[in-house]
Amino acid sequence: MTRNRYWTLADGHVPSWPQKDTFVLKEDEVPTPGAGQALTRTIYVSLDPYQWYYKRERTEPAGAPCHARTVSQVIESRMDGIAAGDFVFNTNGWTEYALMGEGAWRPSYMVPRKLDPSLGRISQAVGVLGMLGLTAYAGMDLMATPKAGETVVVSAASGGVGQIAGQLAKQRNLRVVGIAGRDAKCQFVTEELGFDACVSHLSPTLPADLAGACPAGVDVYFENVGGKVFEAVLPLVNQGARMIICGLIAHYGDEDGGVDRRAALMKLGKPIFKARNITVKNLWVSDFADFHEEMLAYVAPLVATGKIKYREDIRQGLETIPAAFAEMMRGDNFGKLLVQVSPDPTLGQG
How many C-beta atoms surround the C-beta of residue 113 within 10 A? 13
27 with 318: CB under 8 angstroms? no
Looking at the DSSP assignment, which residues form a beta bridge with residue 312? 336
| pLDDT bucket at 109, cuts 50 / 70 / 90 | confident
Fold agreement between 4-126+312-347 and 131-286: no
Least confident of 13-17, 135-139, 338-342: 13-17
pLDDT in tens, 283-336: 999 999 999 999 999 999 999 999 999 999 999 999 999 999 999 988 889 999
Determine the residue type at 116: D
Residues 6+ away with beta carbon under 8 Å from 326: 17, 18, 19
**Whether the model pTM is above 0.85:** yes
DSSP E strands, 53-138? 70-77, 87-90, 97-101, 113-114
pLDDT in tens, 151-181: 999 999 999 999 999 999 999 999 999 999 9
| pLDDT bucket at 350, cuts 50 / 70 / 90 | low
Tell how strand 218-223 and strand 151-155 pair up.
parallel
197 with 215: CB under 8 angstroms? no
Rg (CA), the chain: 20
103 with 37: CB under 8 angstroms? yes
pLDDT in tens, 42-101: 999 999 988 887 777 777 788 899 999 999 999 999 999 999 999 999 999 999 999 999
Handedness of CA 209, 211, 216, 217 (dihedral sign): positive
| Best CATH choice for the domain 131-286 from the list 3.40.50.720, 3.40.50.300, 3.30.1490.20, 3.40.50.970 | 3.40.50.720
**d(C-alpha 248, C-alpha 251), whole Å:** 6
At 24 the three-state DSSP class reads strand
**Domain 4-126+312-347 listed as CATH 3.30.70.100:** no
Q: Concatenated DSSP letters for 228-282?
A: HHHHHHGGGEEEEEEEEE---GGGTTSTTTTHHHHHHHHHHHHHHHHHTT-EEEE
pLDDT for the residue 257: 47
Give the domain ranges of the chain: 4-126+312-347, 131-286
How many C-beta atoms surround the C-beta of residue 6 within 10 A? 24
